[in-house]
Chain A
Amino acid sequence: MTTRLFYDLVALVIFALVIVLGVPALMGFDGFELNTFARYLALGIASLALALSWGGAGLLNLGQAATFGMGSYAMAMHLKLKASGDGLPDFMGWNNVPELPLIWVPFHSLGFTLLAGLLVPAFVGGLIAMFMFRARIAGVFVAIITLAFLVAFQLVVIEEQGITGGQNGLTGLAPLNVLGWSVDTYGVGFYYLVAGCLVTAITIGLYLTHSKFGLILRAIREDADRTRFLGYNVANYQTVIFCISAALAGWAGMLYTLVLEFASPTYMSVSFSLAIVIWCAVGGRDSVLAAAIGAILVNLLEGRLSDIFVEGWNLMLGVIFVFVVMFMPRGLNGLVGDAWRFIGGRLQKERTISTRPHLQPEPVKSGQEN
């Protein structure tokens, strides 16, 4: 086991203990407070998904919110169908839709919904990735294409009111029912469900970054051509990490719908997508754990400050982002890493001096002789 893997695992265990034991204890196991925190944890998954493609492979996906939205709408439609019983969802009636559109029929089943929430984003992400990366599109053009896709996708969702609920989104949802457990989103159990999902997602992310797959992606990030001449199919590697990242974003979207109990096209807005980038940058895009922590911290800050500075909050967020980009390009993760090495270096210095006293000069004696 490498030392880096060891540090990452220690950090993961500490993080898991904090969110599983520390946070609930701090909030007195209060369901309402924990619901707010569960929202931050769900967004942490979206942020770490971006860290996998952006930090791990150098592919800045500005369309992360689109795949997030797909997951969120999949879950919302399942709950909407449950709430509507045998009838049509109410908004379809208002839009003169005579019967349930075919694409929503399978969402009566929870199993299908969960699969679709992961696989539909992965499929769409994979399709875009295949076209981009086969054509060897890289750098800022990846950001532009994914951003354009996001804008177009949000437009379609808003326009197709009869199928998606349009600008209003999907509201009036039934509670989730898993194998007889009716999930109370203001209960401690729900908080542990989301926390468990986040820890699992981070573990998956850590595995990917420490696998040879993650190593090849870092090689591609630095020099794609060189990696091609070593026999790696660069486009396939990039496509696969894009799919995985999209699936994780879909997962985050499903949880987000559960927390907020509605789905809205604002989840697929450009500003939301850019916010994910900011969380990821603040935490540190090189590490999935740091990216998740970045999302939690920024949202925690937003939760406290946006109440006081309603208008000014976005400005503050922008300033934070500019500050991070200029002064700590590797985010909080880089800051902690530098501090760690600094302390480690000093400790080592002290140890070598104290264990080898014969190397220390003896100025007193020689001074007296002169």
Chain B
Amino acid sequence: MSQLQVNDLHVDFGGLRAVDGLSFSVAEGEILCLLGPNGAGKSTTLDLICGKTQPTGGSIRFEGTEISQLLEFRRARLGIGRKFQVPSVYKELTVAENLSVARSRRPGILHALTRFALSDGHAAAPILERIGLEAKANELAGNLSHGETQWLEIAMLIAQDSRLILMDEPTAGMTIEETGRTAEIFRSLSESHTLIVVEHDMSFVRTVADRIVVMNRGSMLAEGTIEEIETNEDVKTAYLGH
């Protein structure tokens, strides 16, 4: 059964239909890549799933629950995590504190009131090791380099441990080597997580994608494996404009 089902989704931004009758589904453990030209509505689709934007019509079902009217934090508690295009770590907190905030399996106030800030440090250590930031655990996140910030954000996603992870251009600004390492982490993540990734880097998409959805003007243009997409005539027309 599919984990996420998007059905006839619409959103209007004052006359502009950013997403227009979009339907697709994602199976558990799958990596789905969203492709499409600029303004196709890829980021907006992620916004709609995680609750940043409210849809004007249609339904989003996550593991059988209708979520399109729920507040953001309720969706996050159901198991939907989001990585934004701009790296959004907490610059005024240390690396270890960032991970502690991200570890939100129990987000209640009473639980937070009865724990010290870094009481779950032992759980963060293997994650820090995996991304190579263990020596900088007590460094302020604002002092990290751009690449390290990206890693920290991926580490926060691992710590959050959402069942469905939404990523907006995770490799933007990364070197080829870093992109390769990210692809590796994504493949290992998909053993226990479902991923929806918006990405422009085609070599990255080739390595990680199980399935691809191509969007154009807010609706689905094509769907299939990488080979199917690369030979699809409609896709070529949409991208090249003839």
A228 to B71, CA, bound (A): 9
The answer, yes or no, to whether B160 is at the interface (CB within 8 Å) is: yes
The answer, yes or no, to whether B226 is at the interface (CB within 8 Å) is: no
B100 & A223 in contact (Cβ 8 Å cutoff): no
The answer, yes or no, to whether A77 is at the interface (CB within 8 Å) is: no
Partner of B113, one of A5, A211, A219, A223: A211
Chain A: interface secondary structure?
A: helix
B100 & A231 in contact (Cβ 8 Å cutoff): no
A229: chain B residues at CB < 8 Å are 50-52, 72-73, 76, 81-82
A232 to B116, CA, bound (A): 17
The answer, yes or no, to whether B102 is at the interface (CB within 8 Å) is: yes
A234 to B107, CA, bound (A): 10
A211 & B107 in contact (Cβ 8 Å cutoff): no
B73 & A233 in contact (Cβ 8 Å cutoff): yes
A216 & B73 in contact (Cβ 8 Å cutoff): no
Partner of A230, one of B51, B101, B109: B101
Q: Shortest beta-carbon distance, A331 to chain B, in Å?
A: 16
B113: chain A residues at CB < 8 Å are 208, 211-213
The answer, yes or no, to whether B207 is at the interface (CB within 8 Å) is: no
Partner of B119, one of A212, A219, A233: A212
Chain A, Cβ-Cβ closest to B80: A229
A219: chain B residues at CB < 8 Å are 90, 93, 101
A231 to B84, CA, bound (A): 15
B101 & A231 in contact (Cβ 8 Å cutoff): no
Counting residue pairs across A and B whose Cβ atoms lie within 8 Å, the total is 89
Given contacts A211-B115, A212-B115, A213-B112, contact A230 B90 (CB under 8 A): no
Q: Shortest beta-carbon distance, A50 to chain B, in Å?
A: 20
A234: chain B residues at CB < 8 Å are 73
Chain B, Cβ-Cβ closest to A227: B101
Q: Shortest beta-carbon distance, B79 to chain A, in Å?
A: 9
Q: Shortest beta-carbon distance, B52 to chain A, in Å?
A: 8
A215 & B107 in contact (Cβ 8 Å cutoff): no
B93 & A218 in contact (Cβ 8 Å cutoff): yes
A212: chain B residues at CB < 8 Å are 100, 111-113, 115-117, 119
B90 & A223 in contact (Cβ 8 Å cutoff): yes
B97 & A215 in contact (Cβ 8 Å cutoff): yes
The answer, yes or no, to whether A222 is at the interface (CB within 8 Å) is: yes
Chain A, Cβ-Cβ closest to B111: A212
Partner of B109, one of A218, A228, A236: A236
B107 & A232 in contact (Cβ 8 Å cutoff): yes
The answer, yes or no, to whether A360 is at the interface (CB within 8 Å) is: no
The answer, yes or no, to whether A368 is at the interface (CB within 8 Å) is: no
A5 to B119, CA, bound (A): 13
B117: chain A residues at CB < 8 Å are 2, 210-212, 214-215
Q: Shortest beta-carbon distance, B141 to chain A, in Å?
A: 10
B82: chain A residues at CB < 8 Å are 229
Given contacts A211-B112, A211-B115, A214-B117, contact A231 B93 (CB under 8 A): no
Q: Shortest beta-carbon distance, A239 to chain B, in Å?
A: 9
Q: Shortest beta-carbon distance, A57 to chain B, in Å?
A: 13
A2: chain B residues at CB < 8 Å are 117-118
Q: Shortest beta-carbon distance, B239 to chain A, in Å?
A: 31
Q: Shortest beta-carbon distance, A326 to chain B, in Å?
A: 21
Q: Shortest beta-carbon distance, B96 to chain A, in Å?
A: 9
A213 & B101 in contact (Cβ 8 Å cutoff): no
Pairs of residues from A and B, 8 with the lowest C-beta to C-beta distance, nearest first: A231-B76, A215-B117, A213-B112, A212-B112, A212-B115, A228-B72, A231-B107, A231-B104
A selection of 18 A-B contacts at a CB cut-off of 8 Å is A5-B116, A212-B100, A212-B116, A212-B119, A215-B101, A216-B101, A216-B112, A218-B90, A218-B92, A218-B97, A219-B90, A223-B90, A228-B73, A230-B101, A231-B76, A231-B77, A231-B160, A233-B109
